[in-house]
């Protein structure tokens, strides 16, 4: 039996994806300069940037292009790293924090440049609003924005008091916030499919239904990447499987934890959509287990909220997300939900990503902790630079300490559940 790819999650994105004919599974032996494992933003961007540098690249994807988090996420493109700049300054010092800010700004621009230069049709819109769910979080947000302006010269921000925020996002349950004019949102699966098309146009070979089962190092130092029906021999190998890694590399597995997160898309809201979010920005709140939402191009509310730890999804995902959504929009409690789905992201203990050269010729970037639209795309650019011989910027990210989850393979999940439940409780207090 030939290997088969699992279909996309039953998402609004899969229902509105541009046509993407299946790519053939890997069959037989082949060679390339670089073999990339996983066709999400990390893998596709790595492949595209390497191909632009003249490298031959094979991408092996267990399922379909964009099947993982890259095809299912909230579509929000954030400024900055996953942690705010003050935290980064305290942790790593001012010089490193500045470098991280500059890299994150470039990450955001990289996404926009890729969309523009490859004419990727993915409903890109700028504007993202941060909403504070507690008065104390509003005070923190004001300080953060003032800090970004004063210390980093960041001018994309507009502070919103409670009334202006309520008018901008159609609900008065938040205490104030700010608008980030250079962040934004997009159709995540069509963005991934566009990256794949751009990579193929640059010469990359992509195989779907090609799950990698083993990576072996040969006597000459090359990597042999094995699937059910084929082998790729390559000088360098990039692990870009993120939350779906599933034991392929024990060292990476110990440092990133898969988490399931859920999204629902309502039926189109018609004229009401423009009254709900008149500026059509994406919105993200200050909860630890964050609520995030936006309007799709056809006027649906796409709302993300709630997560689970482990492999079991809620029986009724639409009902699960609706429970979160109606706390923000009680008026939408009965609105029909047309699509509801889950996806796996990966988090690290620090919530900063895990970039590493694991051993000579084997690289990874993962653990974006919910911040991957920009940073995973950018990881591909830095991985390509490093493999091409300039490790300077990759090394900035790779120098960030990322500790192993406590408890080892058996007990790390229970300890994560205890930790996350504590933070979820803080959200409610």
Ligand X SMILES: Cc1cc2nc3c(=O)[nH]c(=O)nc-3n(C[C@H](O)[C@H](O)[C@H](O)COP(=O)(O)OP(=O)(O)OC[C@H]3O[C@@H](n4cnc5c(N)ncnc54)[C@H](O)[C@@H]3O)c2cc1C
Site residues for ligand X, window 44-63 (CB under 6 A)?
60-63
Cα 347 to chain centroid distance, Å, stands at 10
- Residue 107 binding ligand X, by CB under 6 A: no
Instruction: List all residues 6 or more positions away from 249 whose beta carbon is below 8 Å from its beta carbon.
Output: 215, 239, 358, 364
- Determine which residue in the list 88, 198, 204, 345 makes contact with ligand X, applying CB under 6 A: 345
Binding residue for ligand X (CB under 6 A) from 12, 92, 292, 355?
292
Please state, in angstroms and rounded to a whole number, the distance separating the CA atoms of residues 70 and 303: 16
Interface region with ligand X, contact rule CB under 6 A, candidates 85-93, 126-134, 160-168, 367-375:
367-375
Give the Cα separation of 326 and 333 in Å (integer): 5
How many residues touch ligand X (CB under 6 A)?
45
* Dihedral over alpha carbons 340, 377, 79, 282 (to 10 degrees): -30
Residues whose CB is less than 8 angstroms from the CB of residue 427 and which lie 6 or more positions away in sequence, other chains included: 133, 287, 288, 289
For 108: left if phi > 0, alpha if psi spans -120 to 50, otherwise beta; the answer is alpha
388 burial class (0-12, 13-18, 19+ CB within 10 angstroms)?
Answer: middle
180 Cα distance to chain centroid: 19
The yes or no reply on residue 127 touching ligand X (CB under 6 A) is no
Residue 85 vs 364, nearer CB to ligand X? 364
The verdict on 350 binding ligand X (CB under 6 A) reads no
Contact (CB, 8 A) for 121 and 18: yes
Rank residues 142 and 424 by Cβ distance to ligand X and give the closer one. 424
- How long, in residues, is the chain? 429
Determine the Cα–Cα distance for residues 359 and 216; give it in Å rounded to an integer: 12
Q: Does 40 bind ligand X (CB under 6 A)?
A: yes
- Rounded least distance, CB 352 to ligand X, Å: 13
x-marked contacts with ligand X along 369-398 as a string, rule CB under 6 A: -xxxxx-x----------------------
* Binding residue for ligand X, selected from 8, 207, 211, 255, defined by CB under 6 A: 211
Q: C-beta of 150: minimal distance to ligand X in Å? A: 26
Residue 154 in the binding site for ligand X (CB under 6 A): no
Task: Dig out the tokens for 368 from the structure.
Answer: 């974006």
Query: What is the b/e burial string over 62-81, where b = at least 16 CB atoms within 10 angstroms of the residue's CB?
Result: bbbbbbbbbbbbbbbbbbbb
Query: Which residue of 8, 23, 25, 41 would you call a contact of ligand X, by CB under 6 A?
Result: 41
Examine residue 194 and tell whether it contacts ligand X (CB under 6 A). no
Closest distance to ligand X from the beta carbon of 210 (Å): 6
Residue among 29 and 167 whose Cβ is closer to ligand X: 29
The minimum distance between CB 380 and ligand X, in angstroms, equals: 8
Rank residues 35 and 389 by Cβ distance to ligand X and give the closer one.
Answer: 35
Q: Does 184 bind ligand X (CB under 6 A)?
A: no
343 belongs to the binding site for ligand X (CB under 6 A): yes
Q: Give yes or no for residue 241 binding ligand X (CB under 6 A).
A: yes
Residue among 149, 166, 248, 335 that touches ligand X (CB under 6 A)? 248
For position 17 contacting ligand X by CB under 6 A, the verdict is no
Q: Are strands 125-131 and 57-60 parallel, antiparallel or unpaired?
A: unpaired
Is the Cβ–Cβ distance between 364 and 239 less than 8 Å? yes
Q: Does 38 bind ligand X (CB under 6 A)?
A: yes
325 in Cβ contact with 264 (< 8 Å):
yes
- CB neighbour list of residue 138: distance below 8 Å, 6 or more residues apart: 132, 162, 175, 176, 177
Q: Which of 114, 366, 382, 402 binds ligand X (CB under 6 A)?
A: 366
Which residues contribute to the site for ligand X (CB under 6 A)? 37-43, 60-63, 67-70, 72-76, 78, 211-212, 240-245, 248, 261, 263, 292, 304, 343-345, 366, 368, 370-374, 376
């Amino acid at each position: 039996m030939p290997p088969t790819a699992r279909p996309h999650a039953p998402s609004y994105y899969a229902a509105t994806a541009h046509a993407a004919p299946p790519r053939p599974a890997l069959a037989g032996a082949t060679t390339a300069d670089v073999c990339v494992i996983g066709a999400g933003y990390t893998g596709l961007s790595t492949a595209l940037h390497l191909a632009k540098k003249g490298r031959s690249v094979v991408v092996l994807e267990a399922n379909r292009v964009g099947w993982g988090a890259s095809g299912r996420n909230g579509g929000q493109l954030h400024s900055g790293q996953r942690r705010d700049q003050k935290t980064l300054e305290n942790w790593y010092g001012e010089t490193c924090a500045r470098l991280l800010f500059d890299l994150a700004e470039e990450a955001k621009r990289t996404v926009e440049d890729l969309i523009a230069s490859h004419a990727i049709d993915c409903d890109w819109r700028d504007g993202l609003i941060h909403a504070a769910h507690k008065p104390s979080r509003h005070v923190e947000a004001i300080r953060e924005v003032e800090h970004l302006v004063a210390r980093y010269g960041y001018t994309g921000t507009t502070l919103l008091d409670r009334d202006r925020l309520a008018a901008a996002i159609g609900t008065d349950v938040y205490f104030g916030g700010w608008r980030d004019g250079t962040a934004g949102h997009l159709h995540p699966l069509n963005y991934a499919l566009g990256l794949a098309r751009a990579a193929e146009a640059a010469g990359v070979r992509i195989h779907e239904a090609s799950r990698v089962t083993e990576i072996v190092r040969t006597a000459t130092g090359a990597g042999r990447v094995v699937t059910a029906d084929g082998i790729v021999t390559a000088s360098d190998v990039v692990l870009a499987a993120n939350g779906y890694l599933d034991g392929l590399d024990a060292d990476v597995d110990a440092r990133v934890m898969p988490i399931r997160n859920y999204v629902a898309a309502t039926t189109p809201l018609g004229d009401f959509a423009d009254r709900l979010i008149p500026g059509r920005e994406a919105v993200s709140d200050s909860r630890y287990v964050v609520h995030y939402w936006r309007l799709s191009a056809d006027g649906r509310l796409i709302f993300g909220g709630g997560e689970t730890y482990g492999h079991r999804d809620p029986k009724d995902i639409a009902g699960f997300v609706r429970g979160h959504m109606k706390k923000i929009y009680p008026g939408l409690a009965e609105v029909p939900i047309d699509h509801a789905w889950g996806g796996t992201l990966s988090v690290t203990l620090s919530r900063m990503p895990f970039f590493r050269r694991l051993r000579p010729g084997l690289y990874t970037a993962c653990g974006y902790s919910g911040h991957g639209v920009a940073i995973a795309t950018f990881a591909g650019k830095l991985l390509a630079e490093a493999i091409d011989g300039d490790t300077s910027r990759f090394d900035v990210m790779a120098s960030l300490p990322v500790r192993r989850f406590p408890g080892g393979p058996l007990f790390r999940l229970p300890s994560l559940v205890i930790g996350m439940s504590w933070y979820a409780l803080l959200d409610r207090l």
